[in-house]
Chains A and B, each alone.
Chain A
Amino acid sequence: MKVLKFFLVGFLFGIVLTKSEAVSWYRIYEMFQFQSFHMYGIIGVAVATGILGIQIIKRKNIKDIKGFPIEIKDKENSNARYFIGGISFGLGWALVGSCPGPIFILIGAGFLPVIIVLIGALIGTIIYGALKSKLPH
């Protein structure tokens, strides 16, 4: 059961991202050309749902499934890493039209050329890991 719940959450995530076409290269292109509201609507409603849910969790001190208090860590404040890293990610996101979640979902859906994107993403991760101490954070 422990493993099953994570599988089911992932399964739902894969279906929703495919059926909403958020995994589609075309939808990302259209989003960056401001030619459709679709992607903005998806992200906007996801964030609105998340804000509401997290506020409820915080105000009612809801415990997690094991009965521990839920603590959501704050992100470290800084500029360089978010802007430089963010811009690099955005360039790649628009070019190949997929972020890390969709990379896996598309490979599962049978788009084998996306494996090249995954290999690239792993190389990029290794480059970051190797350069981490030399980069401004």
Chain B
Amino acid sequence: MDVIFQTWPWYVSGFLIGMVMLALIYFGKNFGMSTNLQSLCSMTGLGKRIAYFDFDWKANRWNFVVVIGAMVGGFVAMHFMSDPSNVNINPKAIAQLAQMGIDAPNGKLMPTALFGEQIWQSPKSILILLGGGILIGFGTRYAGGCTSGHAISGLSNLQLPSLKAVIGFFIGGLIMAHFLFPLIFKS
């Protein structure tokens, strides 16, 4: 049983994620999480004002069911399959984070400094999460896909555009993690 509670190894996890994508292809659909953002906006009737949201979102209802399943899966894994040994990251990362005032994992998935309940009282923390979200939403829709649509599905189908998008993801991620983090998280 221990195996289930510990951090799942990359080769098991990667294989299962690949199988999730293939299962959706077999069901006649495709693996893409960020499409749901567009569907959610369309649901509110934005299509009357903005052409991008003027489409039949009901055709993507199956993808909402995938999302609901994923949320329940996250709940079950978090509450019934976790262990204090989890999130054992590189000690160098822990030391760097400490300098920026970000707490070590100690079994937590998310740092309290960024995702703890106290952030509701901190306009700066709220702005960080909101700003990150805006960059994600804008970027993924502009690029036409995120980690699932481009990095996993697109690369699996040997798509050059997806490789370009993934290179973009990494350029952006490296700029943020190496140059902007020290500016944003000054302790």
Residues on A facing B (Cβ under 8 Å): 3, 5-33, 35-51, 53-54, 57, 62, 64-66, 68, 70, 72, 74-79, 81-101, 103-114, 116-130, 132, 135
Query: Mind listing 11 A-B residue pairs with CB under 8 Å?
Result: A6-B66, A9-B66, A10-B72, A22-B13, A33-B92, A42-B13, A43-B152, A85-B140, A86-B150, A100-B34, A124-B137
A122 contact from B30, B37, B147, B169, Cβ within 8 A: B37
Chain B residues engaging chain A, CB cutoff 8 angstroms? 4, 7-8, 10-28, 30, 33-34, 36-38, 40-41, 46, 50-53, 62-63, 65-79, 81, 86-87, 89-90, 92-93, 96-97, 105, 109-111, 114-117, 119-120, 125-126, 128-148, 150-162, 164-178, 180-181, 184
Q: Is the Cβ of B41 less than 8 Å from the Cβ of A27? A: no
B128 proximity list for chain A (CB < 8 A): 95-96
Asked if A129 contacts B46 (CB within 8 A), the reply is: yes
Contact of B166 with A50 in the complex, beta carbons under 8 Å = no
Which residues of B sit under 8 angstroms from A81, Cβ to Cβ?
A: 142-144
Which of A68, A77, A85, A130 is B160 in contact with, Cβ under 8 Å? Answer: A77
Q: A14-B74, A33-B93, A120-B131 are in contact. Are A128 and B141 (CB under 8 A)?
A: yes
Contacts of A100 in B (CB 8 A): 33-34, 36-37, 136, 140, 146-148
Bound CA–CA A89/B139 (angstroms)? 4
Nearest CB on B from A71, distance (A): 10
Q: Is B18's CB under 8 angstroms from A89's CB? A: no
B134 contact from A26, A90, A107, A127, Cβ within 8 A: A127
Cβ contact within 8 Å between B143 and A10: no
Cα-based distance from A87 to B87 in the complex (angstroms): 27
User: In the assembled complex, which residues on chain A have CB atoms less than 8 Å from the CB atom of B177?
Assistant: 29, 32-33, 94
Residue numbers in A under 8 Å from B171 (CB-CB): 83, 86-87, 90
A46 near B17 with CB under 8 A, answer yes
Closest CB of chain A to B89's CB: distance in Å? 5
Q: Which residues of A contact B151 (CB under 8 A)?
A: 43, 47
> What residues of chain A lie closer than 8 Å to B10, measured between beta carbons?
20, 37-42, 45
Rounded to whole angstroms, the CA-CA distance of A27 and B160 in the bound complex is 27
List the A side residues contacting B15 at CB < 8 Å: 45-46, 49
A117 to B133, CA, bound (A): 4
Residues of chain B contacted by A48 (CB below 8 angstroms): 14, 18
Verify A26–B111 contact, CB threshold 8 A.
Answer: yes
Distance of A98 Cα from B70 Cα, bound (Å): 14
Q: Do A21 and B87 form a contact, CB below 8 Å, given A15-B73, A37-B10, A95-B128?
A: yes
A135 contacts B142, CB within 8 Å?
Answer: yes
Interface centre among B19, B40, B63, B116 (most CB of A within 10 A): B19
Given contacts A32-B178, A42-B10, A42-B14, contact A72 B165 (CB under 8 A): no
